[in-house]
Amino acid sequence: MLCYHRRMPEEMRKQDTCPSQRARFVRGLKLGLPIFLGYAPIGAAFGIVARGLGFTPLQAAVCSGTALAGAGQLIALQLLGAGAGVAAVVFTTAIVNLRYILFGAALSQHVTGMPLLRQAFLAYTLTDETFAVNIDDSRRETASFASMAGVGVIAWAGWVLGTTVGALAAGAIGDPTRFGVQFAMPAMFTALLVAQAEDRTHVLTAVVAAIFAIGLMLILPDPWYLIVAPILAATVATVVHR
């Protein structure tokens, strides 16, 4: 069995030089537990809105289970509700999710040498949150396929379970915004942003990205700033820190 750990704190190395696949998977599940708790209510909100638009609970659950596209799915519902056609809906969600090309590119540097099928599974469970958690874990060199799969599985479960409960119990739950569901994503993004801001360079890069984001939101049609702002900020950081 290949041990992905290349460098670990002395303390940890003494206890456990190379944990089992199972132990790493379970570690991933624990790392991803906050994502589960964050996704479940947002998934429920998606399920409720989807039911309102005429999705069956099965359709809502299959949509969440196969697309796993948070904001992309909610925007799709908005467009469907506004009477947009299938192609327009799919195209818009694609643009909302274009940033995953960047995320996949960044993640690729941490999964070199991994078999294609495993990479396909990680791609399937790639979301903003699983990406940030796995990158953070990879930087500490404690990530492996098993741990990343654990993060992916539990995030997927939260999203699909939430959607199913929301779609089945839409009437009983009522308006999910009274529980503050609409802040669950921004809250996770904020915590994950602070987790990525490991040194001065990264903090400055975050500030540059924030400025680009605001500027681009003003001049570009939505949701292009989501992909253009990170590209510009990373370019500035790379050029400045040559």
Partner 1 sequence: MNSSVIWAVVIGMAVVNFAIRFPSIAILSRTELPAWAKRWLSYIPVSAMATLVVGGVVRPDGRWLGPLENPYLWAAAVTGVVYWRLRSFLGATVVGVICFLAFTALLG
Residue 4 is a binding residue for partner 1 (CB under 8 A): no
Give the type of residue at 15: Q
Give the nearer residue to partner 1 in terms of CB position, either 107 or 161: 107
**Three-state DSSP class for 100?**
helix
Choices 8-16, 144-152, 167-175, 224-232; region in contact with partner 1 by CB under 8 A: 224-232
Residues 177, 76: Cα–Cα separation, whole Å? 19
Q: Which of 107, 154, 157, 161 binds partner 1 (CB under 8 A)?
A: 107
Tokens 């990530």 correspond to: 143
DSSP state of 179: G
Shortest CB 147 distance to partner 1, Å: 15
Choices 9-17, 112-120, 151-159, 161-169; region in contact with partner 1 by CB under 8 A: 112-120
Residues 6+ apart with CB under 8 A from 32: 130, 133, 150, 151, 152, 153, 154, 155
Question: Contact, 99 vs 230, CB < 8 A?
Answer: yes
Residue 12 is a binding residue for partner 1 (CB under 8 A): no
Shortest CB 100 distance to partner 1, Å: 5
Tokens 């809502």 correspond to: 60
Question: Contact, 141 vs 7, CB < 8 A?
Answer: yes
Shortest CB 78 distance to partner 1, Å: 10
Residues in the chain, overall count: 242
- Site size toward partner 1 (CB under 8 A) is 98
Q: Which of 2, 7, 113, 175 binds partner 1 (CB under 8 A)?
A: 113
Q: Which of 28, 38, 43, 166 binds partner 1 (CB under 8 A)?
A: 38
CA nearest 128: which of 161, 104, 92?
A: 104
**Token pair for residue 183?**
């802040």
Residues 104, 77: Cα–Cα separation, whole Å? 26
Q: Which of 68, 153, 167, 170 binds partner 1 (CB under 8 A)?
A: 68
Residue 2 is a binding residue for partner 1 (CB under 8 A): no
Residues 123, 61: Cα–Cα separation, whole Å? 19
Residue 9 is a binding residue for partner 1 (CB under 8 A): no
Residue 26 is a binding residue for partner 1 (CB under 8 A): no
Residue 186 is a binding residue for partner 1 (CB under 8 A): yes
Question: Contact, 159 vs 68, CB < 8 A?
Answer: yes
Residue 209 is a binding residue for partner 1 (CB under 8 A): yes
Shortest CB 104 distance to partner 1, Å: 4
Q: Which of 17, 22, 56, 174 binds partner 1 (CB under 8 A)?
A: 56
Residue 53 is a binding residue for partner 1 (CB under 8 A): yes
Choices 7-15, 16-24, 49-57, 148-156; region in contact with partner 1 by CB under 8 A: 49-57
